[in-house]
Amino acid sequence: MKVLVTGVEGQLGYDVVKRLNLLGIENIGVDRTDFDITDKEQTEAYIFDCKPDVVIHCAAYTAVDKAEEEQGLCYAINVDGTRYISEACKKIDAKMLYISTDYVFDGEGTEAQKEDKPTAPANYYGYSKEQGELLVKELLEKYFIIRTSWVYGKNGNNFVKTMLKLGQTKDEISVVNDQVGVPTYTPDLAVSICDMLQTTKYGTYHVVNEGYCSWYEFVVEIFKQAGINIKVNSIPTSEYPTRAKRPLNSRLSKEKLDKNGFNRLPEWKDALKRYLDEL
Ligand SMILES: NC(=O)c1ccc[n+]([C@@H]2O[C@H](COP(=O)([O-])OP(=O)(O)OC[C@H]3O[C@@H](n4cnc5c(N)ncnc54)[C@H](OP(=O)(O)O)[C@@H]3O)[C@@H](O)[C@H]2O)c1
């Protein structure tokens, strides 16, 4: 089996390739320097030449706030790019794993959102990822859509690293306490992705670490585990306006994961501990 991983220079792609190497699965990690996914010819030429059995599509436009102003670029990468990769997969009969997000949901309610809940994104990034999902479903039969949330990993910038930096320079910070979700550690997510790709249990899954918290609770735990003494104030979303609206409830149900016999990921606090050790 040969696996092609897009976005290898990003957080998730990096750890997926690491996991594939550990499992001894032949793989090629690619990024912008290999081909630009918004260029149909380049994308097709690379994939047809490489002829992978599986494509794990981790590359994406991920700047959630900036996307509100750069809608054209966000669409080109997350929708057109996904289309070109899906079409190429169809032509060579490769499986495709498309990484998606909690932001495809409106975040209404307090329960964990089921895999088949109708999507209704609250911001442009979420809309672009939703459109990518729809294309994958329309064009392919052999696909996995894997929705995840609040991603952090060693290779790239993320919320945890930002908080650790703030912890060096500030005595006090304010963090929203009414948005809940699940911080997800890329090596844990990579384990699940690599389990799935070896099966034919196609469909849409939610894969996040266990438990859930608010951003405020996440930050308190980051500083606690990192041994940083800083005052953290709890504020409502209304006191922290952002360009892109965020869903209040990002909890995701793991019903499909359980039903198909895939392992759940470890608790988010345990994952955070391993991440801080890794850093
Ligand atoms: N980060 C999160 O909190 C989060 C939450 C839920 C879901 N997700 C999804 O999880 C997946 C992985 O996220 P991540 O955090 O690992 O993303 P990331 O660190 O931002 O990495 C994305 C990678 O995609 C590459 N890329 C962007 N445009 C490209 C293009 N036109 N051609 C080729 N490569 C291109 C980027 O390269 P450049 O650096 O050169 O642009 C980067 O290496 C994405 O599908 C994302 O939507 C992320």
Q: Which residues contact 106 (CB under 8 A, 6 or more apart)?
A: 120, 121, 122, 247
Q: Is 125 a catalytic residue?
A: yes
Query: Tell me: the pLDDT tens digits for 7-39?
Result: 999 999 999 999 999 999 999 999 999 999 999
pLDDT of residue 49: 98
**pLDDT score, position 186:** 98
- The answer to whether the CB of 250 is under 6 A from ligand 1 is no
Q: Which CATH superfamily is domain 2-158+184-210+251-266 in?
A: NAD(P)-binding Rossmann-like Domain (3.40.50.720)
Written as six digits, the tokens of 12 are 């998730």
Is residue 99 within 6 Å of ligand 1 at its C-beta?
yes
What does the alpha-carbon distance between residue 274 and residue 271 come to, in Å, rounded to a whole number?
A: 5
Select which of 125, 127, 185, 205 is catalytic: 125
> pLDDT digit string (tens) for 137-169?
999 999 999 999 999 999 999 999 999 999 999
Give me ligand 1 centre to Cα 31, in Å: 10
Cα–ligand 1 centroid distance for 92 (angstroms):
24
| Residue identifier of the C-alpha nearest atom 15 of ligand 1 | 11
Tell whether ligand 1 has an atom less than 6 A from the beta carbon of residue 17: no
What's the pLDDT at 137? 98
Give the per-residue pLDDT at 114.
97
**Whether residue 77 has its Cβ less than 6 Å from ligand 1:** yes
Which ligand 1 atom is the nearest neighbour of the CA of 37?
A: 32
Whole-number pLDDT of residue 219: 98
Q: Supply the pLDDT for residue 146.
A: 98
Domain chopping of the chain, boundaries: 2-158+184-210+251-266
- The confidence score (pLDDT) of residue 107 equals 94
Summarize the confidence of residues 103-114 as an average pLDDT: 95
**Average pLDDT over the chain, rounded to whole?**
97
What percent of the chain is predicted at pLDDT more than 90? 100
The pair phi, psi for residue 250, each rounded to 5°, is: -110, 15
Tokens standing for 194? 């690599």
List, for residues 221-276, the tens digit of each pLDDT value: 999 999 999 999 999 999 999 999 999 999 999 999 999 999 999 999 999 999 99
Q: Whose CA is nearest to atom 1 of ligand 1?
A: 151
Share of the chain above pLDDT 70, in %: 100
pLDDT of residue 262: 98
Question: In this structure, which residue's CA is closest to atom 48 in ligand 1?
Answer: 151
With tokens 């696996």, the residue in question is 3
- 271 near 188, Cβ under 8 Å? yes
What average pLDDT score do residues 95-100 get?
98
Q: What are the helix and strand counts (H, E) for the chain? A: 10, 12
- Nearest atom in ligand 1 to the alpha carbon of residue 81 is 31
Is 86 touching ligand 1 by the criterion CB < 6 Å?
no
What are the pLDDT digits (tens) for 183-213?
A: 999 999 999 999 999 999 999 999 999 999 9
Contact status, residue 97 vs residue 57, Cβ threshold 8 Å:
yes
Instruction: Please tell me the distance from the alpha carbon of residue 16 to that of residue 18, in angstroms, as a whole number.
Output: 5
Query: Which residues are 210's β-sheet partners?
Result: 267
Q: How confident is the model at residue 59 (pLDDT cuts 50, 70, 90)?
A: very high
Mean pLDDT (whole number) for 57-74: 98
